[in-house]
Amino acid sequence: MDKIAVLDLQRQYKQVGAEIEKRTLEVLRSGHYILGKNVSALEEGVAKLSGCAHGIGVANGTDALILALRACNVGPGDEVITTSFTFAATAEAIALCGAKPVFVDIDPKTFNIDPDLIAQAITAKTKAIIPVHLYGQPADMDKIMPIAHKHNLKVVEDNAQAIGALYKGRPTGSLGDVACISFYPTKNLGACGDAGMLVTVSADIADRLKLLRGHGMRVRYYHEEVGYNSRLDELQAVALLIKLPYLEGWNAQRRELASIYTEELSHCPGVVAPPVAPHTTPVWHQYTIRVLGKGMRDRLQTELAAQGIGSMCYYPVPLHLQAAFSYLGHRAGDLPATESAADQVLSLPMYPELTAGEVKRVCAATTAIIRTASAVPAGAGQAG
């Protein structure tokens, strides 16, 4: 049987590769490599898709988070509320600005920050909130924004995994004060290397971000503040521009595959398919199930791999229990919903070029493995 990779970027390259190679050659021959017409066109296109007036291209999604926090005047002594169940970059950005990440537990259904726990985490030092639209599922922004307004906090959306998603009909990225997008190759809109963008409705924040990404310089060699070198280059921008018109169709294809997964897995005991929150249109950056029962997630992953089926665990260790954040003094048990998700989640193959037949094969294999494992617990040994 053919293998089913957890992600196969070569399939997408077959669709767009010829055009990317042609236009890349044009950029190479043009002699203009950084912040040119392709970057501008991409900024305009991504801002529009995100329901924002401004797009600011930067070097990667992590830089986008750092610059967003800096533009919101987050610095040493400040606290920023976020989720512990995310990629490390979300909290790294807070720490790199000199601020303290304050982790709030998740809603076990959506894997996103639980808005009902935010208010009790706010102190006099709190400056901002970073909700993450994890796995392409929008966070509950209509509950988060009123809390932010009441306490005069900025909201930075980590939209690295959810470009194109809708929350109550509005695009993620347009719901907070500023949003961060990653074009890392594995994201729903992926470059051929590192790239990122910020989008915002605020002209003031956009202006500050443009300053910060280029050494705090508005007029060449006159530096208004200490900034960064975080510019987007024309080679990445041209590849992303070619892919941009496909994004809506690709996201629709992910939704189609997700509905097949959910239907097929509804008969599999011990597996919880990801529910879709009301009034949201997720973009299924990942299709992530929960596998119930001690050790069952790891067992499923190992046995799927033995059948040539890839899967990934995003993320096995929540940030509050990572060595990098041990200085915050957390211990196991502090964030129960987050910790239980980290023990149970498994992301199955998901990309627009995956076929319905492949999804059904993953589901059949998953169901068979879980049924057998439930009948014979791990380590029980065969009779005889």
Binding residues (CB under 6 A) for ligand PLP: these are 60-62, 86-87, 89-90, 132, 158, 160-161, 182, 184, 194, 196
Residue nearest to ligand PLP (CB): 61
Q: How many CB atoms lie within 10 A of CB 63?
A: 26
Q: Is 165 left (phi over 0), alpha (psi -120 to 50) or beta?
A: beta
At closest approach, how far in Å is the CB of 84 from ligand PLP? 12
Strands, DSSP E only, in 136-272? 154-158, 166-167, 170-171, 178-182, 196-200, 217-219, 222-223, 271-272
Quick one: 78 or 194, whose CB is closer to ligand PLP? 194
Quick one: 199 or 260, whose CB is closer to ligand PLP? 199
At closest approach, how far in Å is the CB of 90 from ligand PLP? 5
Quick one: 93 or 206, whose CB is closer to ligand PLP? 93
At closest approach, how far in Å is the CB of 280 from ligand PLP? 17
Quick one: 94 or 337, whose CB is closer to ligand PLP? 94
Tokens representing 233 are 């280059």
Angle at 181 between CA 274 and CA 114, to 5 degrees: 40
Quick one: 62 or 174, whose CB is closer to ligand PLP? 62
At closest approach, how far in Å is the CB of 62 from ligand PLP? 3
Q: How far is CA 273 from CA 85, 109, 266, 289, in A?
A: 18, 10, 7, 5
Instruction: State whether residue 236 is helix, strand or coil.
Output: helix
At closest approach, how far in Å is the CB of 299 from ligand PLP? 26
Instruction: State whether residue 373 is helix, strand or coil.
Output: helix
Residue 277 in contact with residue 107, Cβ under 8 Å? no
